[in-house]
Amino acid sequence: MRFLRISKLNFTMHHLSEQEIIRRDNLTKLKDAGVEAYPSESFDVNAFCKDVKDQFKDGDTTFQSVSMAGRLMSRRIMGKASFAELQDSSGRIQIYISRDDICPEDDKTLYNDVFKKWLDLGDFIGIKGFAFYTQMGECTIHVTELKVLSKSLRPLPVVKVDDTGKVHDAFTDPEMRYRQRYVDLIVNPEVRETFKQRTAMYTSMRNYLNERGYLEVETPILQPLYGGAAARPFTTHHNTLDMKLYLRIANELYLKRLIVGGFDGVYEFSKDFRNEGMSRFHNPEFTQIELYVAYKDYQWMMNLVEEMVEKVAIDLHGTSKVKVGENIIDFKRPWKRYTMYEAIEHFTGVDISQMNEDQLRDTARKMHVHVDNTMGKGKLIDEIFGEKCEDQLIQPTFITDYPVEMSPLAKRHPSKPGLVERFEAICNKKEIANAFSELNDPIDQRKRFEEQLDLGKRGDSEAMVLDEDFLRALEYGMPPTAGLGIGMDRLAMIMTNQNSIQEVLFFPQMKAEKE
RNA sequence: GAUCUGGUAGCUCAGCUGGUAGAGCAAUACACUUUUAAUGUAUGGGCCCUGGGUUCGAAUCCCAGCCAGAUCACCA
C-alpha cells in the first residue's frame, strides 16, 4: 500500500518551459552517449576556489594538481577553447578548457558535445588541472580532465558582475528568494555569508558559556501548559495520550526546574513558537537563548551580557564596532545604564518616580502617548518608555528596575517598592536581552500567578497560566538565581546588518504557494 | 487586522491617455585556442497572478480575490 503515500506533487508535473525541455533533452543525449549524468562514486576534492585564488602566486609549484568540484556558473566559448566559472562552497574561480587538452585522442565528443552542448549553467562538474594566470591576469584553472557530476534541470537566474563591481540582473524578488532559498544561496554569495555569521554567533556564545561551566540542555517543546512569557500559543494534540499540548512560548519554567534540581548554570538555544502577527521583526517560530545561573543576581547578569555580546561582535567582525544601517554600534564595555525612571527623565525631562496612577496618566497624555483608563501604573510607565525612550536608544544600553505588574516571574526590588530586579538591553531601538533576578519565593510566585489568572479572566489572551508543578518545584527551594533571555534572530539581524528577520532565517514562514 | 506599492519570457525590467506583446541577460544554431557583463550573425520562447465587469477591442480602465513587500497596531 506504500504507493498511496506518495504525495500528489510527484504526479503533477508543472508545464515545462522551453529551457527546461532543452535541459531534459540534454540529459537524454548524455545518457545516449554513455555519459552518466548522476554518477554515484565519490569525486575527491583537494582544493577550493577561494584557497586557490587567495594563495596561488604565478610561478608557484602549488595547486599544480588540483581536483575541484562545483557548479558551472558561466561559459565563454571561443571555438576550440573556452573559459567558464566553477562555483563551490567557498566561491568561484575561472577555469580554462581547451579541446585538445581534455580530448587528446581523435574523439572530441567530451569537448564538442558534452561540454559545449549538453552541459548547462548550474550543472555540477568535477575537474582536474593546474592553476595559472591568464594574460589578463586572472587566476584560472587549466582543465585537463572533466567529469559530469550532476545535471540541473531548471535554469538558474544569471547574475553578472561587471568590471566596476556593478551587479546586473540581481536575483532580488523577496518572495522567490525566501520560497526558494536554495536558489538564493546559489546565486547570492552574501546570503551564504549572513547565515555563516549567524552560526558563528551561536558558536561564539556557546563557547563563552561552556568555558564558564554552564550546561547546555534540552527541554520540552511540546508542553501540557505553556509559560514563561506573555504570548498566545500554538496548540496541538497527541493522539495516543489523547491530550492537548502547546508548543512552547518560552522554556523559562523548565530551566528553573533544573536549577531546583541542582545544576548551577543551564542554558538552551530554544526554538519558541508564538501564535501572533508577523512582521519584519516577528516570525511565528523564533529562537531565544535562555540562561539561568544559581547564586547570582541581575546586576551580575548585566556584566555577563556585556562581556558575551562584546565577544560575539569581536568574533564576527574583529572589532566591537558593527555597522547597522546608518549607524555604527559599538558593543565595547561598559554599556550605558539607566533605571527606567532615569531613562524617562533623561529623554523627556519629567521625573515620574513619585507619581501615582492618575498623575502618570495625565503626564502620558501631555506627552501625546496613547493611553486608556484600563492601564495600571506599570503599563503606563511601560507605554511612556516605549513611546519616548526606546526609539532613541541606538547604542547598547541597559534599562533596569521595571514595574512589578509587567514581570510576574521576577524578584521584587528590596528597596524600590513596585519595582522588580529586572533589566533589558536595548540596541538599535529594539530589545535584545531581557533578564531578572528570578523570583524564588513560592508564596509570592503563587500570588503573581493568581494575578495573571485574573487578567486572563478579564480577557487578556496573553496572560500567564498557573503552573502547579512549577510552584511545587519552587516549594522544594530554588537558590537565588539570575535568568536571561536573548532573542537570537534579533541579535543576528544586528550582527549581520539585516533589516528583516527573514534575512536571518533560512526558511521564513510564508503562506502556501498556489498550485 | 488597516493603509500603500507591486505581480508581464528562465532572471531583471519597459510597455503612455485602451488598438498585432518588447529589451538586456539566459536559451537555440553557426563562427572563433587566453576570454571575462567575451564578441559577431541568425532564431525560438508569453494562461501579461486569478475571476468577473466596461468596451467593437483590455497587459493597460473598474470591481472582487490570491501572493508578496513596506508602513502602522500587538509582540521577541
Residue A12: the pLDDT is 45
Which nucleotide C1' is nearest A511 CA?
B67
- Average pLDDT over chain A reads 92
Give, in Å, how far the C1' of B14 lies from the CA of A69. 39
The residues with which A271 forms a beta bridge, in sequence order, are A287
Which nucleotide C1' is nearest A250 CA?
B76
Which nucleotide C1' is nearest A285 CA?
B76
This complex has an ipTM of 0.91
Residue A479's φ and ψ, nearest 5 degrees, are -65, 160
Which nucleotide C1' is nearest A503 CA?
B69
Between A417 and A10, name the one with better pLDDT: A417
Per-residue pLDDT, averaged over A416-433, amounts to 94
Residue A366: the pLDDT is 86
Residue A14: the pLDDT is 64
Residue A11: the pLDDT is 34
Give, in Å, how far the C1' of B66 lies from the CA of A138. 49
Q: How far apart are CA A293 and CA A390, in angstroms?
A: 28
Per-residue pLDDT, averaged over A168-187, amounts to 93
| Pair A199, A205: CB distance under 8 Å | no
**Which protein residue lies nearest to nucleotide B9, measured between its Cα and the C1' atom?**
A17
Per-residue pLDDT, averaged over A103-128, amounts to 95
Query: pTM surpassing 0.90?
Result: yes
Give, in Å, how far the C1' of B7 lies from the CA of A401. 49
Residue A373: the pLDDT is 75
How confident is residue A461, by pLDDT bands cut at 50, 70 and 90? Answer: confident
Strand (E) or helix (H) holding A26: helix A18-32
How confident is residue A4, by pLDDT bands cut at 50, 70 and 90? Answer: very low
Residue A69 cell numbers, joined:
568540484
Q: How far apart are CA A139 and CA A133, in angstroms?
A: 5
Q: Is the pLDDT of residue A405 over 90?
A: no
pLDDT tens-digit series, residues A253-282: 999 999 999 999 999 999 999 998 889 999
Give, in Å, how far the C1' of B56 lies from the CA of A19. 39
Give, in Å, how far the C1' of B29 lies from the CA of A38. 28
**Which protein residue lies nearest to nucleotide B28, measured between its Cα and the C1' atom?**
A22
State the virtual CA torsion across A86, A88, A90, A92 in degrees, nearest 10: 10
Listed as ranges, the nucleotides of chain B within 7 A of a protein C-beta are 1, 9-13, 24-29, 31-39, 44-45, 47, 66-76
pLDDT tens-digit series, residues A209-239: 999 999 999 999 999 999 898 888 999 999 9
Q: Is the pLDDT of residue A7 over 50?
A: no
Q: Is the pLDDT of residue A123 over 70?
A: yes
Per-residue pLDDT, averaged over A340-350, amounts to 92
Residue A13: the pLDDT is 57
Per-residue pLDDT, averaged over A287-303, amounts to 97
Q: Is the pLDDT of residue A43 over 90?
A: yes
- Worst-scoring range by mean pLDDT, A57-71, A191-205, A378-392, A482-496? A378-392
Residue A2: the pLDDT is 29
Residue A119: the pLDDT is 97
**Secondary structure (DSSP) of A242-277:** TEEEEE-S--HHHHHHHHHTT-SEEEEEEEEE--S-
Strand pairing class (A91-98; A139-150):
parallel
| Pair A397, A306: CB distance under 8 Å | no
Per-residue pLDDT, averaged over A316-333, amounts to 95
Residue A218: the pLDDT is 97
Show the 3-state SS of A127-182.
Answer: EEEEEEECCCCCEEEEEEEEEEEECCCCCCCCCEECCCCCEECCCCCHHHHHHCHH
Per-residue pLDDT, averaged over A323-340, amounts to 94
Residue A185: the pLDDT is 96
Dihedral sign, CA of A56, A61, A66, A72?
positive
DSSP state of A330: E
pLDDT tens-digit series, residues A95-110: 999 999 999 998 999 9
Buried b vs exposed e over A106-145: b needs ≥16 C-beta within 10 Å? eebebbebbbbebbbbbbbbbbbbebbeeeeeebbbbbee
Strand pairing class (A321-324; A430-437):
unpaired
Per-residue pLDDT, averaged over A123-127, amounts to 97
How confident is residue A387, by pLDDT bands cut at 50, 70 and 90? Answer: confident
Q: How far apart are CA A68 and CA A64, in angstroms?
A: 12
